[in-house]
Structure 1
Amino acid sequence: MTEIFKKHWSEYKYSKNMLQDALIKHVMDLMPYRMSDEGEVLEIIMNIKESDEQSWINAWSNMAANLQNRAHKFEKAGKLISAGSSYLRASTYWRVSLMYFGDWQDPRMQEFSQRSKDCYDRALELNGYPGEAIRIPYENTYLPGHFYRSPYAKNKKTPLLIVIPGRDTWADDTIWVTDAAIKRGIHALTFDGPGQGMALRLQDLKFRPDFENVLGPVIDFAQKQEEVDSKQIGAMGMSFGGFLVARGAAFDDRLKFIISDPGNMNWGGMIAGRLEKALKMPAMIRPNMIDFVLKDYEWKHGATDKTIINELQKFDNTKIVPNIKTKTLVLDGSAEVTYGAAKKFYDALTCPKDYLLFDENSTAQQHTQMGGYATGTEYIMNWIEDNF
C-alpha cells in the first residue's frame, strides 16, 4: 500500500513511561463513547509526574471525584441525562487511577474499584444503555461482568460476542468492541477474569494458566441466556486476553470463532525473559517503571521475586496450538510492542484462519488498535459479520 504520510502518530508520546503513555492513549480514544473528555484528560496529564504512582492515582481520582459529585447534584436536580454522562466519565477515571498503582493493600484499591462499578452501572441505567451487570458462576465465587442486549437484534435467538480484556485494562474498557457489536445486531458479554479488573481488586482472584477453566463457565453462562443462539457464540481476547482466548479454545470447541488481538504463542516466555533482566538489577537502582512492572506482575500472578519467572513460563501455548480447531482471526499491528509474535502464532495454527495486519496507513497500528478504535472496529466487525 502506498504510504500516505511520512510521519506517524504512533511515534508521539504523552509520557516516556511506556505504560502510562499507552493508558493515556487508550483513555483519549474512549471519547467517541462518551467515557472521557479531552479537556479533562489533558488537565489530568498536566498533573502527573512520570512514573510516579501517587501522582497518577491522585490526578485521575481527583477528576473522578469531581465528576461523581457533579453527577450526584445533577441527579438530585432531576437532570438525569447530564447525571448519567458525568457518572460514565467518573467511572472511567476511577478505573484508570488504579491502572498504574500497585499498592494492593492501600484501601483506595477497593474503594475506587467499587466507585467505578457503581458509577458505571448508574450511568447505564440513567442513559438507557442496553447493558446490565452480571455475575457469572465460577468455582466457589463469581466473575463480574456485563451483558449487552442488542436493540437491533432481528431474531429471538441472536449471536453473541464474548470479549476478554487484557492484563491492564478492565472489562468496562472494551466498550469500543461491545458497542460496535450491538449496533450490528449482535449481543455482547464482557467480564473480568482472575487477575483482571474487579475480580482482582475486589475478590483477590489471580491469573491462572489453565484459562479453559475460566472461559468454560463463561460459555456455560452465555448459552443459558434465552436471547442467545448457543451455536453462534464467538470470543475476542484483547492484549493478554488474546493469548488466553487461544488457550481456552484449545480445550473447548463450543465457540464459532475466536479473535486473538494480537496473537501470541508464548506470552509467558516473552515476558519472563524481560523480567529476568529486571531481577538482575539491584532494587535500589532499578528504574521506577521497571520496578512497577515487576511488582505488578507478581501481584497479579500471586508470585514473588523467586517464583515469578517460573509462574510466567506456565503461560505457553506452543504445545497446544495444534489442538485449536475453532476458526481464528489473528490481529497484528506494525507498531505492536510484540511485533512478529502474531504472525508466528498464525503460522502455527492448523485450524481455519485469517490474519489481519493494521499498518501505519490505517492509524490503528498500535497495540490492540489503541488510538485507532474506530478503524479497528470497522475491520473487525466486518469479519465478525461474515463469520456468524
Structure 2
Amino acid sequence: MTSPNPLFPGAHWTSLRLIGDDVMDDQLKHQISMGHYGMSDLGECLEVARQIVVDDEESWMRAWSDMARRIQDRAEAAEKKGRTVSAGDAYLRAATYWRASLLHFSFPDDPRIKDNALTSYQCYDRYLELADYPGEYLKIPYEDSFLPSYLYRSPLAKGRPAPLLIFFQGRDAWPEDTRWVYDGAIRRGYHCLSVQCPGQGLALRVNNLPFRFDWENVVTPIVDVAVTLDGVDTDRIGLMGLSFGGYLAPRAAAFEKRLKVCIANPGVLQWGASIKSNLPEVLGHALEEGPEAFNAAAEMVAAHSPVAKWFMRDSSWKHGVSTPYELFQQFDACDLTDVAGEIECETLVIDGTEERFSAGEARRLYDALTCPKDFLEFDEESTAQLHCQTGAHATAAEFTFDWLDDRL
C-alpha cells in the first residue's frame, strides 16, 4: 500500500529515512527512540541530524558532542541554582548524547573516544543521584580487569528475594541507552544488571577489552557476582542479549547452567554468515582463496563503499584484530551450530519482519534449539519490525516482559 505522504516511500513507517545511510539512519532513530524515557528530545536529535554528513564519522562525532556539551552546561548551571529536577533531566540527555557521539566513530587513537565515554558516565551518575533513580555502579571482576556495570534494584521487591535479569548490548549500542530493559524490569519487580562487556562501552574504550567468541567466559564471571548480590533469587536469573548479543547470550547459555531463561534479540545462529550476506559477493569468493586474496578484496570493497570501510575498521578495533581476514575468522568463530543443542534453559528467540542486519538467522537458531523455546516475530502490525525494535521500545518491553513474567 503506497503512502499518501511522500516522506514515506514504502508501505510502512520504517521507509522514512532521516539520513541517507542505513546504519547511521538506524542509529539516529535509536537515539530518538529514547525520548520515550526522557533520555533524548526530538528537536535536539533532529538538530544534530541536520549537521551530519552521510558517511562522515567526524561530522557525527562533532554534532553529537556539541549537543552533549550544550545540554551538560545547562545541567551544571541548573544544579548550581539548586534546580535538581531540571539538572537531573539535562544530565540524563547529555549522557545520552555523549554516548551517541561514539556510536559511529571508530578511530580508537582519538582522545575523544575515552574523554567522551568517561564524561557520559559522569553525567549519568549525576542524574542517578539527583533523580534518585535506583541504579548503582558496579565493577565486575574479569580476568585482570573489570566490566563496568550498573545494578538497578526494583523498589517493588521490598527486601524480598527477586528475579534478576542480566543483559548486555551488541556491536554498537550501550546498555544504559537500552532503558526499556532495565526500566521495564524494575517496574515489574525484577532487579536488573546491565553490563558493558568486552568489545562494548567503557570495557572497550577505557579498559581496552575486545570481543571474544567464547562468551561463556564473560557471562560466568557475571553470574558469579550476581549470585552473591543481596536480594537476588538465585533460582530466577535470566540473560538477555541484543543485536550481536543475540549470538552472545545463547552461546553463554550453552555452558552457564545457572540461568533459568535466555532471550536472544534477535537470535543469531551464525554471525559470520549474517555479516557476509550484507557484504559484496566478491568477499565470499576471496575468503576461500586465503588471507592475501581476501585482504586485497576487502581493500578494494572499502575503497568503493564508505559503509564497508567503516564497518571493517570499526569491527577490527572491537574484535582486536589488524586485518580483514583475521576479522572474518573472528566472525566465523561466532557459530552456535555445534552448541545450540547444549542450551537447557527456556529460550525466547526474537525476530522482526524487517530485520536487515541478520535476516533469517533467528529462525535458524530457533530450529537448532532442543530446549523449551518460543519464537516471537514482530511485524508491521506491532510497528516493532526493525532490528531490536528500534522506534517501538514500549512495544518491545510489553511483549518481552509478558513472556518473562510467566517464567522468571
- State the TM-score bracket (shorter-chain normalisation): over 0.9
Amino acid at match of 1:378: E
Aligned CA distance change for structure 1 residues 142 and 347 (closer, same or farther; 3 Å): same
1:224 aligns with 2:224: no
Amino acid at match of 2:238: G
2:53 aligned residue: 49
1:339 aligns with 2:343: no
Amino acid at match of 1:194: P
154, 157, 170: which one pairs with 1:153? 157
1:313 aligns with 2:332: yes
1:374 aligned residue: 394
1:130 aligns with 2:134: yes
Give the 5 Å matches for 1:162-311. Answer: 162-272=166-276, 274=278, 277=282, 280=297, 282=300, 285-303=303-321, 304-311=323-330
Q: Deviations over 1:19-52 (max 9, x none)?
A: 1111111111101111000110011011111110
Amino acid at match of 1:91: A
CA RMSD of aligned residues (A): 1.5
Q: Distance in 2 between matches of 1:228 and 1:142?
A: 21
Aligned CA distance change for structure 1 residues 81 and 323 (closer, same or farther; 3 Å): same
317, 325, 344: which one pairs with 2:344? 325
Amino acid at match of 1:167: R
Are 2:19 and 2:49, in contact at CA under 8 Å, matched by a contact in 1? no
Aligned CA distance change for structure 1 residues 44 and 166 (closer, same or farther; 3 Å): same
Q: How far 1:13 moved relative to its partner?
A: 1.4
Q: Answer with 337-346 or 37-46: which moved more.
A: 337-346
Are 2:302 and 2:308, in contact at CA under 8 Å, matched by a contact in 1? no
Q: How far 1:308 moved relative to its partner?
A: 1.3
The TM-score, its normalising length taken from structure 1, stands at 0.96
Give the 5 Å matches for 1:8-23. Answer: 8-23=12-27
For the residue of structure 2 that corresponds to 1:362, the secondary structure is coil
Q: How far 1:344 moved relative to its partner?
A: 1.2
Percent identity for Structure 1 against Structure 2 = 45
Are 1:154 and 1:185, in contact at CA under 8 Å, matched by a contact in 2? no
Q: Answer with 83-92 or 147-156: which moved more.
A: 147-156
Q: How far 1:273 moved relative to its partner?
A: 5.8
Q: How far 1:275 moved relative to its partner?
A: 5.3
1:87 aligned residue: 91
Q: Distance in 1 between matches of 2:302 and 2:192?
A: 46
Aligned CA distance change for structure 1 residues 85 and 141 (closer, same or farther; 3 Å): same
Q: Deviations over 1:325-344 (max 9, x none)?
A: 11100001000112221111
Q: Deviations over 1:295-331 (max 9, x none)?
A: 1111101112341121221111111111111110000
Q: Deviations over 1:77-108 (max 9, x none)?
A: 11111111111000000001011111110000
Aligned CA distance change for structure 1 residues 157 and 51 (closer, same or farther; 3 Å): same
Q: Distance in 1 between matches of 2:181 and 2:31?
A: 14
Q: How far 1:288 moved relative to its partner?
A: 1.5
Q: How far 1:60 moved relative to its partner?
A: 0.3
Amino acid at match of 1:363: T
Amino acid at match of 1:80: T
Q: Distance in 1 between matches of 2:133 and 2:277?
A: 43
Give the 5 Å matches for 1:52-67. Answer: 52-67=56-71
Amino acid at match of 2:364: K
Q: Distance in 1 between matches of 2:158 and 2:383?
A: 33
Q: How many residues align?
A: 384
Q: How far 1:253 moved relative to its partner?
A: 1.0
Q: Distance in 1 between matches of 2:272 and 2:260?
A: 26
Which segments of 5 or more consecutive residues in structure 1 lack a partner in the other structure? none
For the residue of structure 2 that corresponds to 1:163, the secondary structure is strand
Q: Distance in 2 between matches of 1:227 and 1:119?
A: 28
Q: Distance in 1 between matches of 2:75 and 2:59?
A: 24
Q: Distance in 2 between matches of 1:23 and 1:269?
A: 23
Are 2:274 and 2:359, in contact at CA under 8 Å, matched by a contact in 1? no
Are 2:274 and 2:361, in contact at CA under 8 Å, matched by a contact in 1? no
Q: Distance in 2 between matches of 1:317 and 1:90?
A: 38
Are 1:13 and 1:21, in contact at CA under 8 Å, matched by a contact in 2? yes
